[in-house]
Structure 1
């Protein structure tokens, strides 16, 4: 059962330490030190109180044995509870310490550790409530166990001073941790923003180079066309003119290839040096894609009415991505529905890809959320390939994703 809304202010803050089951080495060292300090003070204080004249504590001698041993038992329980001070059990432990602080001496150090933990790991409202509660019990303590040589106000004042010091110390530690956490968060955001700026700069530079190379390639190809046309118009031109035109065509073609290699190298995704170019999927991989979707729980009916080897590689890659996006959308928005994939066409008429599935009925709480950019990117990819893409609800109450891609003869 979770905490109801009115008690959520008691939950750990963002600076709360991890669960004891996942303590780090530093956490173990601090927890061991806290337990030894709290329980060690309990043992030493009890032994001192059992003496006829206490030397460490200034308690009045002659405390009843039952009170001393009750104090020891309660303080021992509180010291053992320090092992769970990093969990939600800190609040019950603090309440327990407030109750026994009315009469306990042996649990004094444990009580200060618990108060310090609350100051570090809980909100100020929680700390204020427990500080007021402990201050109230501290006001009652001198009546139950008065000290030798001190009046009521001295005993109460010294107890309050220790409580204030521990609270302020814990608040300073908490503020320092919050400051460090804000610095860390700010540094992470700055690093992420820097990476984003680098990526944007790289994309902008690639687009600029692509536009520049487009102009260069268009210029060089126009030279090729011009000189080739001249040779076609004047087949009986002088040998020197033919040789010059052929030299210009050869040089322009060579330079165009060099420019094209540079464009591809700049626009290609970063890969480790020497890594081979991964093979790109084409229509031949559609059965494997359909089988992969079936293994993920999608009902797929695949009908490819063309020979994958006869389709140009670029067209096949685009068609593969269209089918892949269609299956992904069906898996997201219409889980369990039958998805029909049809690929047909011929050289000269183009390639038609159609992905259909029933329109989702009602909401589905288990559907995978989408960003809404998949179809936008797919439309752009199809347009760059010289095709067109449409999607939407059909009169047959189906969602249809239809694309046409050019297939030259």
Structure 2
């Protein structure tokens, strides 16, 4: 670990500078009575040099410990607090052997140090050892705490990135499925329009000029629509994900069939339908099917035995879907819930200009609702059944 980075105090650079300044002032006040005037200036200069070494960032780590240790070995107990800062720094950096070495060198070399301020006089070494031990303990605790916080922050960041990637994967998968459904529903019909207009265009010589002109325009428009649809599908699908035949399976099923299947499986479902499915655009019918499918699945997982009320309104100006389930007991299954089904539904509904809401509805019930406005000028856009 870099010594200058490890020696940062919880209070920042200013807090460290203040503590070191107090220790230098304490050393000067404690050393002044015991030192003669000819040594006092040299002592203060040594303390200031040690303080500068302790406060200089990006200084090679052995330099400051060695300098403060040598100064303490000569001047003795007035410099013990500054050596305590070194002990604290080394403990944070987990250099306990270096800390023990500095203390041993300072005590041993001080036997030949300045006589008036020796650590061994009046058993001052005991006080110095207590200060250094306290500095080591505090350094170890703060260093471990700092490393724990950094590790937790890294884990939180990792989980945040993982959740974002999984959410994005859910969105991409839903967009790919939307693209497959658009391909199944729209591409075939546009191809038929283009095919039939092409056949009729071969007989344009026997038709009135305005009719032939409109027929040519219809054929051009249908061909361009196919091209635009191909571009939209390419934008919706994940570029690197190959489309399998299973992904292109037609899914134009009615919500009533889905409810009947749930009832056959033993689920309690009450359904209310307002309007006819052909009053809503095909994409809205697909969205309604997916919303009801997701809601019934979640009810089976999280509210087994609950009554599920399904309401679908296809009438303009908006397709409305509301699924409410009463309180129930979680199903005793081993299935793993990804938690991203609602994200995919939100992506689908938002792409159609609508909004999706999901949340508690009181008394332990849960409500999943969506409102998808119909396109302006197209009160209905579907195939009559």
TM bucket, shorter chain: 0.3 to 0.5
Which protein has greater RCO, CA pairs closer than 8 Å, 6+ apart? 2
